[in-house]
Amino acid sequence: MAHYMRGMVTAVRPVKEYVRLSIKAERIAEEMQPGQFAMISAGTEPLLPRPFSIAHVDRGVLSFIFQDVGRGTGMLASLRVGDSVRLLGPLGKPFRVDVGDRPVMVAGGRGIAPFFELARRLSGRSPLLFYGGRTQAQIIETGFFVRLCSEIIVSTEDGGMGHKGFITEPFAEYLAKSTPPVIYACGPHAMLRRVAEIAGSVPTELSMEARMACGYGICIGCVIPTGREGYRRVCLDGPVFSGDEIRWQDLK
């Protein structure tokens, strides 16, 4: 059940290329499950709230990790401690967590966000994390994951940190030898598509993005093409989809 409420900003700080924003919002924090997101508005401009994965939950405080790419994120980046924002959440279908051992998480850039809480829930199952970025500035400290994951593989396109190249390369190598119970992925659509291809018959749980207006299912604006049911809403039917549901060729 989603809550529409005010939350108070408790911290805003730059984390490499991103901003980490923490907001006190107890009711949402209590009910949130990994993979879910919240819609955040900081004022009347921009008009529409913006969707962000809930990265961390700690004593009633939600943390988000986001990239400042435009008006809405710019507005959020300029918030200060004590400011009040409007939140709607938790929203969307979470990741399945009733899975076997050594599940794999693949994160691209800001796609790392939902894996903080997911890793915590999966920690008994020795998850692996594949984490890629364009440059090292896109790779957040992985200290948090070290105690929760059995392996962490990092890559950057320019080789500034970890493997040089796309994260899907070491991921493909790993998959050639192992069969995880499930593959979670969050990142750019091109990466997700590649993950789905590489996964073959291994179940995938892919966190998709789309421009959203409402975030809770009423505008049908955020659809992606799926095989079974045509256009489906990322906000309500997702954001987590199985890779084989998606008609990748029709996805922009």
Partner 1 sequence: MAGLEVSIGSLRLRNPVLLASGCVGYGEEIAQFVDLSALGGIVVKGLYMSPRIGNPPPRIWETPSGMLNSIGLQGIGIHRFVRERLPALRQGGATVIVNVCGETDEEYEQVTRVCDEADGIHATELNISCPNIQENGRCPGMSQEHTYSLISRVRKASSKPLIVKLSPNVTDVAAIATSAEQGGADAVSLINTVLGMSIDTETGETRTATGMGGLSGPAIRPIAVRMVYQVSHAVRIPVIGIGGICDARDAIEFFMAGASAVQVGTANFMNPVASMEVLAGIKSYLARKGKKLNEIIGTCQIGRVQESEPG
Ligand X SMILES: Cc1cc2nc3c(=O)[nH]c(=O)nc-3n(C[C@H](O)[C@H](O)[C@H](O)COP(=O)(O)OP(=O)(O)OC[C@H]3O[C@@H](n4cnc5c(N)ncnc54)[C@H](O)[C@@H]3O)c2cc1C
Ligand Y SMILES: Cc1cc2nc3c(=O)[nH]c(=O)nc-3n(C[C@H](O)[C@H](O)[C@H](O)COP(=O)(O)O)c2cc1C
45 binds its own copies (CB under 8 A): yes
Among 8, 152, 210, 219, binds ligand Y (CB under 6 A): 219
Per the document, the length of the chain is: 252
As a three-state string, the secondary structure of 131-154 is EEECCHHHCCCCHHHHCCCCEEEE
Q: Which of 179, 29, 184, 31 is nearest to 96 (CA)?
A: 184
Query: Whole-number minimum distance, CB 227 to its own copies, in Å?
Result: 42
Q: Where are the beta strands (DSSP E) in 30-165?
A: 37-41, 50-53, 56-58, 61-66, 84-91, 104-108, 128-133, 151-156, 163-164
Whether 123 contacts 148, CB under 8 Å? yes
Among 99, 210, 213, 219, binds ligand X (CB under 6 A): 210
160 binds partner 1 (CB under 8 A): no
41 binds partner 1 (CB under 8 A): yes
214 binds partner 1 (CB under 8 A): yes
Distance between CA atoms of 143 and 44, rounded to whole angstroms? Answer: 37
Chosen from its own copies, ligand FES, ligand X, none, partner binding at 221 (C-beta under 5 to 8 Å by type): ligand FES
- Considering beta carbons, is residue 71 or 164 the nearer one to its own copies? 71
- 60-68, 142-150, 199-207, 228-236 -> range binding partner 1 (CB under 8 A): 228-236
- Considering beta carbons, is residue 65 or 104 the nearer one to ligand X? 65
Chosen from partner 1, ligand Y, its own copies, none, partner binding at 48 (C-beta under 5 to 8 Å by type): partner 1
177's tokens = 């030898």
Question: Which residues form the interface with ligand FES (CB under 6 A)?
Answer: 212-215, 217-222, 233, 235
152 binds partner 1 (CB under 8 A): no
Among 14, 43, 70, 159, binds ligand X (CB under 6 A): 70
